[in-house]
Structure 1
Amino acid sequence: MNLHELPIETIEAIMDALPVDVSFVDAEDRVMFFNTPREGRIFPRTKMDLHRKVQNCHPPKSLPLVEKILQGFRDGSKKEARFWIDLHGRKILIEYFPVKSADGTYLGTLEVTRDITDIQKLEGERRLLDEENFK
């Protein structure tokens, strides 16, 4: 089954099942989509953010960097941008990726934010067939 064959409700449920915040900003720098993870978003969004310029969603001091990232995605000089911050005792990873069509046309930017605090603590390995996975 291809993505275009899935009902929109299924696609939204898939996006909300992800343990990450996902936002999509179109080629005109407008917020066009964000998911609502079951555990809540790290950086909350409201319906009022939709169609809003992404530049208005960031603190003024970060705007030059936001513009530089978006321009790098548009002209192809940048393939990703990755940052991490400490927030309320948690380590937060923020990643940006350009979204392009099959012919290379810039369609927008995908922002993925995740709490990686517990991931950083992983040691050894846990295999699929380990007993803990079935509790």
Structure 2
Amino acid sequence: DDTVRYFNQSKDRIFPRTKAIIGRKVQQCHPQKSVHVVNQILDDFRAGGRDTAQFWIDLKGKLVYIRYFAVRSKNGEYLGCLEVTQDITDLKKIEGEKRLLD
């Protein structure tokens, strides 16, 4: 039903949240100008047209990677959505390789 059930309150959180968002619709977590995009992603998830959506934005000097994942039952029924945001600014700077335990 696209209701916020949980969020992680880390010190590096990109988009601030308060406990007041619990129980509200996920659309209320987003700026009005992007709600139509969120709705399209959720509609696609409900219809089974996709299981993931990803995009990235420049935000105050940070490159922010945003991913949505459909959460489904064992039978494929749409249950909700998981949204993950990550500051990938430093990842974009990686060059070469670093092997495990190097």
2:88 corresponding residue in structure 1: 116
**What's the offset of the Cα at 1:108?**
0.4
Q: Secondary structure at the match of 1:128?
A: coil
Q: How many residues align?
A: 102
Of 31, 35, 39, the residue aligned with 2:4 is: 31
**What's the offset of the Cα at 1:52?**
0.7
- Structure 1 segments of 4 or more deviating over 2 A? none
Provide, for residues 97-118 of structure 1, a one-character-per-residue CA deviation record: whole Å limited to 9, x for no partner.
Answer: 1010111111100100000011
1:99 aligns with 2:71: yes
Q: Which has the higher helix share?
A: 1
2:33 corresponding residue in structure 1: 61
Provide, for residues 65-116 of structure 1, a one-character-per-residue CA deviation record: whole Å limited to 9, x for no partner.
Answer: 1111101001110221111111121100011010101111111001000000
**What's the offset of the Cα at 1:62?**
1.6
Q: For the aligned residues, what is the CA RMSD? A: 1.1
Alpha-carbon distance between aligned partners in 2 of 1:69 and 1:108, rounded to the nearest angstrom: 11
Alpha-carbon distance between aligned partners in 2 of 1:119 and 1:40, rounded to the nearest angstrom: 15
TM-score, length-normalised on structure 1? Answer: 0.71
1:80 aligns with 2:52: yes
TM-score, length-normalised on structure 2? Answer: 0.92
Larger Rg: 1
Gaps of 5+ in 1: 1-27, 131-135
Gaps of 5+ in 2: none
Q: Secondary structure at the match of 1:70?
A: helix
